[in-house]
């Protein structure tokens, strides 16, 4: 024993089948049920204790793509301020919002959390501009949600519902096939709108007083207020309508909040300048590795070399990509994209 005995009392192990039965009875009628090993591309034996979606969550949290999110920026490229969000902290905050909604609405919490934790594993380094840089190398273009589900997370053999929720969490994608996936889509937008504003305030780019009245008067100016307002609005709307949605007042506030962020944070001149540098840098690295495959057996410039280059570069952390740009492409360190 690690410490003095701590009694549990008479208890029998609660194995997966019994837990599934209890979960099925508790869940809302339209919630997704965990059954056995789950619907996976490669069939597996069920786990003795964990549901299929709990296994997915464990696999994502123990994976290298998830850990590398710690080195990928949310908005500010390779920031010096360690308090600013990364893709990892963003994923954790999305999961917190999503689980708060799923638990209250009696949806499958494990599926919701797994999809939320893994939803951005397909993101490249240095922010959203990396998608523009990688798109010329991918037939049909590079979309982080699709690439994350179909390429990055594919080796984990996750359940079809988890991959669907990751693949379709972006609002410009088709609707997810489960209510849990739709919750993650909403949670992603709620989380990033609120925390990106908070980070921009900390960076001195905007102030709480700048927030439009149609936002501040509905959900306040502090992140805790805003998250509470949006989450409550979703739960009450789900209870009233039976569908995953947000009532008009808060939904309009969320849309106005996002529009404000785009105008004052994401698309301001300094950000546009950094995005141009990111596109040149990430595109240059991808082209370089396509012509210099890491595997000597792969033909330079071949489809396989290009695909492997995209996979390698998209998985890089910000600092690793910036260092390689100096080492392989001859970039002047003072010209690298940094910070805001």
What are the tens digits of pLDDT across the range 194-206? 999 999 999 999 9
Burial of residue 32 (CB within 10 Å: 0-12, 13-18, 19+) is: buried
Which domains are delineated in the chain? 21-270 (1.10.3210.10)
Q: Say what percent of the chain tops pLDDT 90.
A: 91
Q: Quote the DSSP letter at residue 265.
A: I
3-class secondary structure per residue, 178-223: CHHHHHHHHHHHHHHHHHHHHHHHHCCCCCHHHCCHHHHHHHCCCH
Name 162's Cβ contacts closer than 8 Å, sequence gap at least 6. 53, 56, 111, 114, 115, 118
How far is Cα 318 from Cα 308, in angstroms, rounded to an integer? 19
pLDDT at 6: 85
Q: Quote the DSSP letter at residue 40.
A: B
pLDDT at 340: 59
How is 293-304 classified by DSSP, letter by letter? -SSTTSPTTSHH
Considering the chain, what is the average pLDDT of its residues?
A: 95
Of 27-41, 79-93, 180-194, the least confident: 79-93
pLDDT at 5: 86
Using the Cα atoms of residue 222, residue 228, residue 233 and residue 234 in order, give the sign of their dihedral.
positive
How far is Cα 314 from Cα 147, in angstroms, rounded to an integer? 10
pLDDT at residue 9 is higher than 90: no
What are the tens digits of pLDDT across the range 283-321? 999 999 999 999 999 999 999 999 999 999 999 999 999
CA distances from 113 to 51, 98, 181 (A): 13, 7, 10
pLDDT at residue 170 is higher than 90: yes
How far is Cα 190 from Cα 87, in angstroms, rounded to an integer? 15
What are the tens digits of pLDDT across the range 80-127? 777 889 999 999 999 999 999 999 999 999 999 999 999 999 999 998
pLDDT at 74: 85
Give the model's confidence band at 79: pLDDT under 50 very low, under 70 low, under 90 confident, else very high.
low
Give the model's confidence band at 1: pLDDT under 50 very low, under 70 low, under 90 confident, else very high.
confident
Give the model's confidence band at 209: pLDDT under 50 very low, under 70 low, under 90 confident, else very high.
very high
């Amino acid at each position: 024993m690690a410490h003095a005995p701590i009694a549990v009392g008479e208890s029998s192990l609660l194995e997966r089948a019994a837990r599934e039965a209890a979960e099925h009875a508790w869940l809302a009628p339209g919630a997704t049920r965990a059954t056995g090993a789950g619907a996976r591309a490669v069939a597996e034996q069920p786990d003795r204790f964990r549901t299929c979606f709990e296994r997915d969550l464990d696999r994502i949290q123990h994976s290298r793509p998830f850990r590398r999110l710690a080195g990928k920026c949310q908005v500010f490229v390779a920031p010096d301020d360690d308090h600013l969000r990364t893709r990892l902290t963003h994923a954790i905050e999305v999961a917190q919002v999503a689980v708060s909604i799923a638990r209250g609405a009696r949806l499958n919490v494990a599926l919701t959390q797994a999809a939320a934790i893994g939803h951005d594993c397909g993101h490249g380094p240095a922010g959203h501009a990396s998608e523009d840089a990688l798109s010329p190398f991918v037939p049909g273009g590079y979309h982080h949600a699709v690439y994350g589900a179909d390429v990055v997370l594919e080796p984990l053999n996750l359940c079809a519902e988890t991959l669907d929720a990751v693949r379709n969490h972006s609002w410009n994608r088709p609707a997810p096939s489960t209510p849990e996936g739709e919750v993650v889509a909403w949670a992603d937008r709620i989380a990033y709108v609120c925390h990106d504003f908070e980070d921009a305030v900390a960076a001195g780019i905007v102030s709480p007083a700048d927030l439009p009245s149609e936002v501040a008067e509905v959900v306040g100016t502090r992140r805790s207020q805003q998250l509470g307002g949006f989450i409550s609005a979703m739960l009450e709307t789900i209870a009233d309508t039976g569908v995953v949605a947000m009532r008009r007042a808060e939904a309009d506030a969320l849309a106005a909040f996002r529009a404000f962020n785009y105008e004052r944070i994401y698309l301001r001149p300094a950000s546009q300048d950094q995005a141009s540098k990111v596109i040149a840098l990430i595109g240059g690295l991808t082209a370089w590795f396509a012509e210099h495959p890491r595997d000597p057996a792969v033909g330079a410039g071949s489809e396989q070399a290009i695909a492997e280059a995209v996979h390698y570069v998209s998985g890089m952390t910000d600092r690793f990509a910036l260092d390689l740009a100096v080492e392989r492409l001859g970039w002047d360190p003072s010209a690298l994209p940094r910070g805001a």
